[in-house]
Amino acid sequence: MSSGKLAEALTSEERRQLAEFNSCLYGYIKFENSDKCPKKLLIQKGISYYDTVIKDKMKAAGAGAQGAVDAQKKAELQKKVTVDPNIYCHLGHLHLLLEDFPKALSAYQKFHNVQTEYWK
Share of the chain above pLDDT 70, in %: 71
Kindly state whether residue 45 falls inside one of the protein's structural domains: yes
**DSSP assignment of 43-98, as one string?**
HHHHHHHHHHHHHHHHHHHTHHHH-S--HHHHHHHHHHS---HHHHHHHHHHHHHT
Query: Of 109, 63, 60, whose CA–CA distance to 88 is shortest?
Result: 109
Question: What pTM does this model have?
Answer: 0.72
Kindly state whether residue 47 falls inside one of the protein's structural domains: yes
Per-residue confidence at 103, pLDDT binned at 50, 70, 90?
A: very high
Give me the domain span that covers residue 17: 3-114
Render pLDDT for 60-76 as a digit per residue (tens, 0 to 9).
Answer: 776 554 555 566 666 66
Count of domains observed in the chain: 1
Kindly state whether residue 108 falls inside one of the protein's structural domains: yes
Kindly state whether residue 120 falls inside one of the protein's structural domains: no
